[in-house]
């Protein structure tokens, strides 16, 4: 998974899988979703990210089950 913030275009891209895109859908005028041929979400692109999200601030946390090694 990759998260990229492009300051020059104020765009946030969250890529879940790096496989060929079969279709791109507009969720609204500033949000795109890339899908594979089975309809699985590959990426989400958000325009005007600095006003619609907390970009470019970002944190990542992996939560493990209790007792998992």
Question: Does the structure show a pLDDT above 80 at 69?
Answer: no
When divided into structural domains, the chain yields a total of: 1
Residue range 2-55, pLDDT digits in tens = 999 999 999 999 999 999 999 999 999 999 999 999 999 999 999 999 999 887
Look at residue 66 in the predicted model and tell me its pLDDT.
Answer: 78
Closest CA to 54 of 9, 12, 15, 26: 12
Is residue 65 situated within a structural domain? Answer: no
What pTM does this model have? 0.82
Domain containing residue 8: 2-52
Look at residue 61 in the predicted model and tell me its pLDDT.
Answer: 84
Task: Give dist(CA 21, CA 44) in Å, integer.
Answer: 12
Is residue 26 situated within a structural domain? Answer: yes
Bridge partners of residue 35, in order along the sequence? 23, 41
Length of the chain: 69
Is residue 43 situated within a structural domain? Answer: yes
Residue range 5-14, pLDDT digits in tens = 999 999 999 9
């Amino acid at each position: 998974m990759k998260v990229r913030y492009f300051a020059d275009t104020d765009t946030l891209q969250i890529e879940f899988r790096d496989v060929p895109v079969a279709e791109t859908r507009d969720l609204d005028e500033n949000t795109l979703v890339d899908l594979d041929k089975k309809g699985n979400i590959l990426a989400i692109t958000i325009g005007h990210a600095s006003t619609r999200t907390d970009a470019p601030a970002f944190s990542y946390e992996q939560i493990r089950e209790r007792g998992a090694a």
